[in-house]
Amino acid sequence: MIKLGDVELKTGAPVNAENTYNRWSHRFKQQTISAPYTDVYDIGKVFVYLMSGDKPICFWKADIEEFLDPNPKWKWVELNCDLAIGKVTDPHKAGLISFRLSIHDKTKDGPINFEQFDAWKKPPAKRMNVKKVRVYLFQCRDVPAADSDGQSDPYIQYWDTTKETKKTKIIEDNLNPMFFECKELVLETNTIEDLPPFILDIWDYDPGPLGNDFICRALIPLSEAAISEGDDIPKPKWHPCRLKPGAPAQGEILVSFAVVSDDYSFKIPTSHLRLRDQVETPEFQIDINILGLRDL
């Protein structure tokens, strides 16, 4: 549901639902709203709610200024849990949503034909293409401790738009784990620009009935990622990880990506890639001189 002022726009159920991925492909009818505001800025905030029945369980909000472009791009935003409702309480389970919205002040600026703009020429696609993504995961540093001994047993779980859960091996007792792993993901999108952000979650493995601990998330928009569009392995970049949207960074992840069309065949299978060979490992010599010992 999208809410601006007193107006509520609600979709129905998603047209495609896969495990943790839902797609609506819904366009709301254009509406003219009469309201006692002096101008469009008076409407205040735009709210986006994820609904469960008639309850808003997660939300995102932004100022109206973000929606005055008549030709907007798809915007991916991170939802927050509505803790007053309490149905979703873990920030990493609140999800992300992609949408676009244009608001035009008809009283002040006159009528507008949105369909002259590329963003509104066609309704959202009912069927989507997919992109194949290779994630080249090198290492993490300064991962927060999630065990009582001050350590973590990190592994990374990747998000994509399939039903399959994709994760790395577990590296025990290590806050600066080296992974050197390559994984292939499948992401629904029609153009590379509209690709969802890459989501890499760092978990701490714990044996026993309580299950593993979520540590933090790297949310990497395409525009910030090191990307190739073929077999090249780009030089990886460090990205901050966070417990929830807007929280301070906790730990970093070193990663790069390849984004290709669904029918592209990589020359080397992931199992034969040697990521470790991509990084130079300089050797340092350390001399320690002990000056004295006492009270042995």
The distance of closest approach from Cβ of residue 157 to Ca ion in the complex, given in angstroms and rounded to an integer, is 15
Q: Which residue's CB is nearer to Ca ion, number 68 or number 175?
A: 175
Q: Which residue's CB is nearer to Ca ion, number 90 or number 109?
A: 90
Q: H or E stretch including 118?
A: helix 118-121
Site for Ca ion in 234-263 (CB under 5 A): none
Q: Which residue's CB is nearer to Ca ion, number 136 or number 203?
A: 203
**Segment interacting with Ca ion (CB under 5 A) among 29-37, 90-98, 197-205, 248-256:** 197-205
The distance of closest approach from Cβ of residue 214 to Ca ion in the complex, given in angstroms and rounded to an integer, is 10
Closest CA to 238 of 254, 222, 217: 254
Q: Which residue's CB is nearer to Ca ion, number 90 or number 147?
A: 147
CB burial of residue 279 (10 Å; 0-12, 13-18, 19+) = middle
Q: Is 106 helix (H, G, I), strand (E, B) or coil?
A: helix
If phi > 0 it is left, if psi is from -120 to 50 it is alpha, else beta; for residue 208 that is: left
Q: Which residue's CB is nearer to Ca ion, number 173 or number 232?
A: 173
Q: Check: CB of residue 89 under 8 Å from CB of residue 60.
A: no
213 binds Ca ion (CB under 5 A): yes
Q: Which amino acid is at 292?
A: G
147 binds Ca ion (CB under 5 A): yes
153 binds Ca ion (CB under 5 A): yes
Q: Check: CB of residue 276 under 8 Å from CB of residue 180.
A: yes
Residue 254, token pair as written in the block? 């070193």
Q: Which residue's CB is nearer to Ca ion, number 142 or number 193?
A: 142
**Segment interacting with Ca ion (CB under 5 A) among 20-28, 152-160, 227-235, 252-260:** 152-160
The distance of closest approach from Cβ of residue 153 to Ca ion in the complex, given in angstroms and rounded to an integer, is 4
d(CA 79, CA 60): 5
The distance of closest approach from Cβ of residue 154 to Ca ion in the complex, given in angstroms and rounded to an integer, is 9
| Backbone angles phi and psi of 203, in degrees to 5 | -115, 155
Which CB contacts under 8 angstroms, 24+ apart, belong to 266-270?
266/134, 266/231, 267/231, 268/231, 270/134, 270/182, 270/183, 270/184
204 binds Ca ion (CB under 5 A): yes
The strand pair at 227-228 and 249-261 is best described as: parallel
Q: Which residue's CB is nearer to Ca ion, number 170 or number 222?
A: 170
| Backbone angles phi and psi of 107, in degrees to 5 | -65, -45
**Segment interacting with Ca ion (CB under 5 A) among 76-84, 104-112, 206-214, 270-278:** 206-214
Among 81, 88, 143, 146, binds Ca ion (CB under 5 A): 146
Q: Which spans of this chain sit near Ca ion (rule: CB under 5 A)? A: 146-147, 153, 204, 206, 213
